[in-house]
Structure 1
Amino acid sequence: MATSRRRAGTRSQLVLRGLPFAVMALVAVADLVAGPALAFLSLLTLGPTFASVSGSVRRTAAVGALALVICIPLAAYSGTLLTWQNNLTLATLISVTGASMLAAHLRLRRERELANVRLVAEAAQRVLLRPVPRRAGDVHLALSYTSAAAEAHIGGDLYEVVTTPMGVRLIVGDVQGKGLGAVETAAWVLGAFREAAYDQPDLVCVAQRVEATLTRHLGAESFVTAILAEIGDGELTLLNCGHPAPLMLRRDGHIELVTPPEESLPLGLSAMTSATPKPHTCTFGEQDQILFYTDGVIETRDPDGAFYPLIDRAELLNEGDPQQALDALREDLIDHAGGPLADDAAMLLLRRHGY
Structure 2
Amino acid sequence: MRRLTGGSRTRWLSRVRRDPVLVSPALLAPLIAILEVLMPPEKPVYRLLPAVPALAAVLWPVVPTLLLGVACLLGVAVYAVASADHSALFTVGAIAAVTVAAAYASHLRLQREDTITEVRTVADATQKVLLRPIPRRVGPLEIGSLYLTATPHARIGGDFYALADTPDAIRLIIGDVRGKGLPALAAASAVLGSFREAAYEATDLTQIADCLETTLCRDDAAALAQGDPAELFATAVLAEIPRHATHATILSCGHPPPLLGRHGDVHVLDTDDPSAPLDLGGLLTPTFHPRRFAFTTGDQLLLYTDGVTEARAADGTFFPLTTWARGQLDKPPRQVLKSLHDALLEHSGDNLGDDIAAVAVRRL
TM over 0.5: yes
CA contact (8 A) 1:27 1:41 kept: yes
Please state if 1:24 is matched with 2:29: yes
How big is the shift at 1:98?
1.0
Q: 1:351 to 1:11 in 2, by over 3 A?
A: farther
- Give the structure 2 partner of residue 184 of structure 1: 186
C-alpha separation between the residues in 2 aligned to 1:66 and 1:284? 73
1:79-158 equivalent positions in 2, closer than 5 A: 79=83, 81-83=85-87, 86-149=88-151, 151-158=153-160
- Which stretches in structure 1 are left out of the alignment for 5+ residues? 1-8
- Give the structure 2 partner of residue 241 of structure 1: 253
How big is the shift at 1:96?
1.0
SS in 1 for 2:176: strand
CA RMSD after TM alignment: 2.7
Matching residue within 197, 200, 212 for 2:199: 197
How big is the shift at 1:240?
1.1
SS in 2 for 1:35: coil
1:202-221 equivalent positions in 2, closer than 5 A: 202-216=204-218, 217-218=221-222, 219-221=229-231
Which letter maps to 2:237?
I
1:320-331 equivalent positions in 2, closer than 5 A: 321-331=332-342
1:64-83 equivalent positions in 2, closer than 5 A: 64-72=69-77, 75=80, 79=83, 81-83=85-87
Matching residue within 215, 226, 229 for 2:236: 226
How big is the shift at 1:304?
5.8
How big is the shift at 1:127?
1.7
> What per-residue deviation string (whole Å, max 9, x for no partner) do you get for residues 288-329 of structure 1?
11111112223334556554333343234433x432332343
C-alpha separation between the residues in 2 aligned to 1:181 and 1:116? 22
Which letter maps to 1:221?
E
- Which stretches in structure 2 are left out of the alignment for 5+ residues? 1-13, 223-228
> What per-residue deviation string (whole Å, max 9, x for no partner) do you get for residues 59-111 of structure 1?
1112212322443455567x46323xx22221111111111111111111122
Q: 1:337 to 1:203 in 2, by over 3 A?
A: same
SS in 1 for 2:271: coil
Q: 1:262 to 1:195 in 2, by over 3 A?
A: same
Please state if 1:54 is matched with 2:54: no
Moved more, 164-173 or 285-294: 164-173
Q: Identity rate of aligned residues, in percent? A: 39
Which letter maps to 1:246?
P
Which letter maps to 1:64?
G
C-alpha separation between the residues in 1 aligned to 2:346 and 2:108? 35
> What per-residue deviation string (whole Å, max 9, x for no partner) do you get for residues 184-232 of structure 1?
1111000111112222232222112111111111222121111111124
Which letter maps to 2:297?
E
Q: 1:300 to 1:51 in 2, by over 3 A?
A: farther
- Give the structure 2 partner of residue 5 of structure 1: none
- Normalising by structure 2, we get a TM-score of 0.83
Q: 1:244 to 1:70 in 2, by over 3 A?
A: farther
How big is the shift at 1:254?
0.8
C-alpha separation between the residues in 2 aligned to 1:211 and 1:152? 28
C-alpha separation between the residues in 2 aligned to 1:12 and 1:308? 40
Please state if 1:296 is matched with 2:307: yes
C-alpha separation between the residues in 1 aligned to 2:323 and 2:215? 38
C-alpha separation between the residues in 2 aligned to 1:23 and 1:295? 51
Q: 1:19 to 1:341 in 2, by over 3 A?
A: farther
- Give the structure 1 partner of residue 42 of structure 2: 37
C-alpha separation between the residues in 2 aligned to 1:340 and 1:11? 30
- Give the structure 1 partner of residue 265 of structure 2: 254
Please state if 1:349 is matched with 2:330: no
C-alpha separation between the residues in 1 aligned to 2:341 and 2:49? 47
Q: 1:257 to 1:76 in 2, by over 3 A?
A: farther
CA contact (8 A) 1:16 1:50 kept: no
- Normalising by structure 1, we get a TM-score of 0.85
Equivalent pairs, count: 340
Matching residue within 155, 158, 161 for 1:159: 161
CA contact (8 A) 1:261 1:280 kept: no
C-alpha separation between the residues in 2 aligned to 1:54 and 1:45? 15
Please state if 1:267 is matched with 2:278: yes
